[in-house]
């Protein structure tokens, strides 16, 4: 070869993986808490990285609000393509043309850390007293669901209560300054408000709620590599089992101080929730009925402008894997 002629650059071998490469961009779980303790722990311990690599997938934790519905902009842009949450915000997302679907679901849990609250000293003493009042909700999501379910249980028409659509981070300020009469909320927002003196009108545990914890992802990445999400589900199941035995590992995951840290009664509730945390599973027929119940409640009360079929909300991982002959995973 002439001295002036360069050797050809080496060519990287083509991937032999049968699984299309994807990056799971998961909404950051923060310090843990309702529905996010397993993911906070997994982030810290890097629990997903190696198993996902076996199916040609990676995971990135993307900062966002600690509420699914507050992350629509990032989800629409594709910056976040997977998240924990509940049934209701997935239904709300679909009504606003965000193509996310549920691929895993659990039973009710941590229902003493969410509900409907009023400020300290409020004259409102019961759900019936909400008639004619302004209640903050994250629209077409878990806060609005809890309010609608509570009113329906009491036979109170939702039209008699003004639902004020405010995302939880902004609702906290409105609640603290008296701009709203009550707030239907959850997680760190609920805990912080109650710690500050808010009084609970109704806990979610008293509502016979169908709005259970889920894991969801964009339809695009679910369809591209369902094996990655089956692996993510498998790892999440094993972490829940670890949480049952060692719940203390799954609270205050990154910090024991500040507004996201739990202590006292809140910590005790979180530890008990961890001991009894439900295992995630591929949605069953009963779970699909829960999805339908949430959708019907939203549609009948004009929280969404169209009825949504359960098949558009739930993604069947097993069927997707079988169609690709990927039923056996590493």
Number of domains in the chain: 2
Instruction: Tell me: pLDDT of 2 over 50.
Output: no
**Which of these three, 153, 173, 206, is where a domain ends?**
206
pLDDT digits 0-9 by tens, 272-315? 777 888 899 999 999 999 999 999 999 999 999 999 999 999 99
How far apart (Å, rounded) are the C-alpha atoms in residues 106 and 204? 16
Is residue 3, in this structure, part of any structural domain at all? no
Instruction: Tell me whether residue 237 is in a domain.
Output: yes
Q: Closest by alpha carbon to 37, among 281, 185, 213, 204?
A: 213
Co-location of 92 and 219 in the same domain: yes
Considering the domain boundaries, does residue 248 fall inside one?
A: yes
Q: Please tell me the predicted confidence (pLDDT) of residue 168.
A: 85
> Is residue 171 assigned to a domain?
yes
CA distance 107 to 240: 13
Does the pTM exceed 0.75? yes
Q: Look at residue 234 and tell me if it is in a domain.
A: yes
Q: Which tokens is 137 given?
A: 């909700």
Q: Which tens digits make up the pLDDT trace of 4-40?
A: 454 454 443 445 788 999 999 999 887 666 567 889 8
Q: Do residues 91 and 35 both lie within one domain?
A: yes
In the structure encoding, which two tokens stand for residue 126, read together? 């019961």
- With cut-offs at 50, 70 and 90, classify the pLDDT of residue 250: confident
pLDDT top residue among 59 and 327? 59
Final residue before a domain boundary, out of 177, 206, 235? 206
Q: What is the mean pLDDT of residues 261-272?
A: 77
Residue 159, domain CATH: 3.40.190.10
Residues 183 and 264 in one domain: no
> How far is the C-alpha of 293 from the C-alpha of 197, rounded, in Å?
33
Q: Residue 244 sits in which domain range?
A: 22-108+211-291+303-323
Q: Is the dihedral of CA 70, 74, 76, 82 positive or negative?
A: negative
Last residue of a domain, one of 184, 206, 228: 206
Q: What is the mean pLDDT of the chain?
A: 88
């Amino acid at each position: 070869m002439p001295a002036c002629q360069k050797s050809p650059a080496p060519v990287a071998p083509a991937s032999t993986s049968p699984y299309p490469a994807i990056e799971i961009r998961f909404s950051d779980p923060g310090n843990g808490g309702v529905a996010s303790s397993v993911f906070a722990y997994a982030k810290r311990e890097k629990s997903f990285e190696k198993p996902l690599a076996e199916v040609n997938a990676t995971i990135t934790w993307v900062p966002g609000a600690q509420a699914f519905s507050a992350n629509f902009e990032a989800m629409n842009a594709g910056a976040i393509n997977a998240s924990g949450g509940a049934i209701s915000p997935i239904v709300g997302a679909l009504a606003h043309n965000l193509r996310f679907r549920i691929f895993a679901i659990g039973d009710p849990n941590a229902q003493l850390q969410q509900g409907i609250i009023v400020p300290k000293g409020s004259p409102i003493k019961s759900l019936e007293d909400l008639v004619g009042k302004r209640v903050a909700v994250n629209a077409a999501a878990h806060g609005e669901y809890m309010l609608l379910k509570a009113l329906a249980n009491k036979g109170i028409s939702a039209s008699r209560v003004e639902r004020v659509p405010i995302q939880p981070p902004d609702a906290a300020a409105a609640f603290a300054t008296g701009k709203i009469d009550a707030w239907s909320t959850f997680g760190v927002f609920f805990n912080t408000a109650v710690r500050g003196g808010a009084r609970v009108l109704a806990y979610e545990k008293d509502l016979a709620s169908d709005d259970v914890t889920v894991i969801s992802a964009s339809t695009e990445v679910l369809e591209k590599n369902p094996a990655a999400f089956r692996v993510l589900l498998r790892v999440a199941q094993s972490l829940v089992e670890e949480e049952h035995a060692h719940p203390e590992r799954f609270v205050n995951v990154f910090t024991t101080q500040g507004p996201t840290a739990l202590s006292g009664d809140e910590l005790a509730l979180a530890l008990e929730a961890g001991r009894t945390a439900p295992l995630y599973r591929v949605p069953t027929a009963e779970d699909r009925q829960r999805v339908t119940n949430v959708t019907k409640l939203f549609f009948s009360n004009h929280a969404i402008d169209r009825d949504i079929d359960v098949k558009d909300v739930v993604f069947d991982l097993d069927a997707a894997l079988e169609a690709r002959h990927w039923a056996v995973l590493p």
